[in-house]
Amino acid sequence: MRPPDLEASLRSIGGPVCLAAADAVHAATRRGGRLTLTLRGADLGPAEVRAVADGIGALSAAAAPALVSLSLSHSRRMGDAAAADLLDALPGTVDALGLVGCGLGDAAGAALLGWAARCPTLSMLCVEGNPISHAMRRRLAGLAEGRPGLLVVV
């Protein structure tokens, strides 16, 4: 049994933010090309983030449209484990990621470091407002060293 597609996952979560995002996925799938997925303010919990991750995995397997930007900012219930699942599902085509105020700690910070290393086109990473240690903040900020054009807000 294949995982649900991203549009179906978003529709099953419901709410105005996810339903608008599902419409955007539908339109991008029909036209192909690039997809910007904005779930900012949807306040997704771990199970919902995992459903989105499964949908992104199915989208990536289909190879169209290419996910280039994702924001799940202000999903304060997300946490480290769901963030790691999400990062595992994200394709290397993502050039902007927003996870502001998502309840992320150092475990998610370590997962972000690993994910960012696999994303050569990453140009923006916003993770401020999370309970990440000062040491991990320095490591995340260090991603921008040697990568011109990469903005890291931590």
Query: Each residue of 16-52: pLDDT tens digit?
Result: 999 999 999 999 988 877 899 999 999 999 999 999 9
Residues (pLDDT < 70) of the chain are: 1-4, 62-64
7's tokens: 């549009």
CATH superfamily of 6-153: Ribonuclease Inhibitor (3.80.10.10)
